[in-house]
Structure 1
Amino acid sequence: MITLQKSIETYIRAKDGNRPHLIAQAFAADAELTMKINTRDIAFPPAVKGAKAISDVLVSEFAVRYENVYTFCIGEKPGAETMFECDWLVCMSEKETGSARAGFGRYEWTADDTGRVRALRITIEEMMSLPQETAEPILQWAQDLPYPWCPRDRLAKGAPEIDAIARIRAALA
């Protein structure tokens, strides 16, 4: 049986691991993605319709620029509800430069009666590009966090002493 939790986990596995074929397992064929971007440091289309187009934007095109991607849903897992909201954190590196990227925002998920995602709204509050030398400590921290569901209180454990990471942790606290 598909649940919203399983669909969210499948989406994260697809995006983080560059596995576009998994999106069809997580999203309804006619799913809708909307994005609200509150930063100039990353660009996405404001709306995308259909699982294939969502896969193209959030997996295939994303993977052209980024690697070592860790996406975390912050807080509790969804229960049996068909609507769920959570904060998110992402840590990754840029393929071309090796620079670290870290950002956070909010997910708003709506499932259909099969448990697949019917609508996803992603708000990107901040997406920072950080010097290449910060990539290793940031990715090590990300690797040690519970994945993909991370309790808020675990964000501080092992966090690198980098001002941008401290700001993200404070925003998600």
Structure 2
Amino acid sequence: MKRIILSTIAVMAFGFASAQDGHFKVGAHVGLPLGNTSDLFSVNLGADVAYLWNVSDKFSAGIVTGYTTYVGKEYNGYIGSVSYAMIRSTNQSFIPVAGTAQYSITENLFVGADLGYAINVDGDLDGGFLYQPKFGYQNKKIELYAAYKGISNNGTLASLNLGFNYKF
């Protein structure tokens, strides 16, 4: 699965390289865990780096990576089969490797999505399929967006995020 996703991203990157021009984006995001994720984690924090090629006037596509972490919290649970205690979940940190696409609805509003794989680099969960639809405001230099992030592999880590990107 990892090979298929990484191969798709590479093909997209080389395919869009012949487009007119592109730009870098660097940003940060903060999110509230949703559903069962909120039982174990208090917040999602991260940083992103992306390069997008302009495919048309309103559509751009490219690659994105970065670092995202779900910060663990204390919860009531069982240790072994007998004792009941406060347990602290461990932080789960990922490096996403994904393709990204963005469509400008108007000059200042856009929709987009990131699709790829999140590699776990700190914690005891496996990595998984990453998907992140976005909606936001943009101008020539910045983007502000809201996104739903999911990392799926035998369950889903999910969060509702707010993010900021600076365009170069």
TM-score (norm 1): 0.37
Bigger strand fraction: 2
Q: Which has the higher contact order (CA 8 A, sep 6+)?
A: 1
Give the structure with higher Rg (CA): 2
TM-score (norm 2): 0.38
